[in-house]
Amino acid sequence: MEHAIVLFDGDCNFCDSSVQFIINHDPAGYYQFASLQSEIGKELSNKHNVPDDVDSLVLIKDGQAYVKSEGALMISNHLTGLWKLAHYLKPFPRALRDGAYDVIAKNRYKVFGKLDSCMLPPPHIRKRFLDK
């Protein structure tokens, strides 16, 4: 089975909740995960030329990195339920979508806080995390 990788801010409550959401809506296990702070997260960021100012969520699919709203919308394509409908936001100008994304990303620590510790997923989920 083909996989895509979601890189996320491992210190962010909102990002952690987003990963949990993806896991819960991806029963096929299409997505694998790594924190941006991990060695593999740093390697993948460098390999795929992820800009330094992107620090919340990155999708790596088919050898290419997708950031901000583009990555989030692409992630929704493989989720179950009505989340697939998010692709209807794609026609909106990217600058507008990324602007909204940036507001959330910039304020995520203030609104949602930082994690003191990482979650320990059950073994069947843990295998989807690349930074062991």
* Residue 126 C-alpha from the chain's centroid: 16
Instruction: Tell me how far apart the alpha carbons of residues 97 and 92 are, in angstroms, rounded to a whole number.
Output: 7
Domain assignment present for 131: no
pTM: 0.82
Domain assignment present for 27: yes
Query: From first to last of its 132 residues, what are the pLDDT tens digits of the chain?
Result: 689 999 998 776 777 888 989 999 999 999 999 999 899 999 999 999 998 888 778 999 999 999 988 999 999 999 998 887 887 788 889 899 888 878 877 877 777 666 665 666 777 788 888 875
How many domains, in total, are found in the chain?
A: 1
Instruction: Tell me how far apart the alpha carbons of residues 20 and 12 are, in angstroms, rounded to a whole number.
Output: 12
Domain assignment present for 132: no
Instruction: Tell me how far apart the alpha carbons of residues 40 and 57 are, in angstroms, rounded to a whole number.
Output: 15
In the three-class reduction of DSSP (H, G, I as helix; E, B as strand; rest coil), residue 129 is classed as strand
Q: The domain containing residue 94 runs over which residues? A: 4-126
